[in-house]
Amino acid sequence: MVVSEKPKTRKPGTPKPPEEYTDGFLTFWNAFPPQQGGSKEQAFKNWWRAIHAGFSEQEILAGAKAYAEECCGREPRFIKRASNWITDRRWQDYAGLAPKPEVAAVTLNGRTYTAQSIKRVVFEALTGVRSWPADKLGPEPGKPGCAIPPELVAEVRSIIAERSKPKSEIIPFQPRMIA
């Protein structure tokens, strides 16, 4: 039995993608976090469809940058493929959440971490929640050879100090009667 293949058709009004990648797509592709097994060609086709469906390159790019910030330090096998990310319109999940320019990334032992993830690890180590992961991040803050930026450590220490201040005015809990 021969199964006839249905010819691929585009929706009316959607122009065929060009043979070469556009500058807008290449900017998106370079901003998107590295993924495992992702097809650049399929991502381009899906990106082209999204652009011609009325979505702007800028909002997709901003979403990709925010997603890349979120995925910083994550293994590529746990990062969504760009083609699926576009098809699912995942950039809309990151609307208004473009990474802030003051947020720095830190590269230690060949891996890149967001400033936020480093601050979390420093906070947990300084408060005794977890031990310092010296195998991944090197010497802990305050020790010789520590590669964590001092401003991140200072920020975490100020957060810890703020949280440890005694609360002068604690409002007692007063249950309400429901009528």
**Domain co-membership, 46 together with 25:** yes
pLDDT tens, residue by residue, 101-149: 454 677 777 788 887 788 888 888 888 888 888 888 888 887 888 888 8
Domain boundary residue among 82, 99, 116? Answer: 99
Q: Which long-range contacts (CB under 8 A, 24 or more apart) does 145-149 make?
A: 147/106, 147/108, 148/106, 148/108, 148/118, 148/122, 149/104, 149/106, 149/115
User: What's the pLDDT at 25?
Assistant: 92
* Residue 58, in any domain of the structure: yes
Do 107 and 150 fall within a single domain?
yes
86 located within any domain: yes
Element (H, E) at 65: helix 57-71
Q: Are residues 117 and 72 part of one domain?
A: no
- At residue 104, the pLDDT reads 60
User: Can you give the residue range of the structural domain that contains 153?
Assistant: 101-165
Q: Which residue has the higher pLDDT, 101 or 57?
A: 57
Which of 21, 69, 70 minimizes the C-alpha distance to 47? Answer: 21
Q: How many Cβ atoms are within 10 Å of 83's Cβ, its own excluded?
A: 19
Please report the pLDDT score of residue 28 as a whole number: 92
Q: Is residue 131 part of a domain?
A: yes
Average pLDDT over residues 83-104: 72
Number of compact structural domains in the chain: 2
Residue at 59 is within a domain: yes
Q: Is residue 4 part of a domain?
A: no
**Domain match, 86 and 36 both:** yes
CA–CA distance, 53 with 13 (Å, rounded to integer) = 10
pLDDT mean over 19-48: 89
pLDDT higher for 177 or 64?
64
pTM greater than 0.85 (yes/no): no
Cα torsion 134, 140, 146, 148 to 10°: value is: 100
95 and 110 together in one domain: no
71 with 24, same domain: the answer is yes
Q: Is the dihedral of CA 74, 77, 81, 85 positive or negative?
A: negative
- Exposure of 22 in the CB half-sphere (CA atoms within 13 A): 14
Confidence of residue 44 (pLDDT cuts 50, 70, 90): very high
Q: Which residue has better confidence, 11 or 146?
A: 146
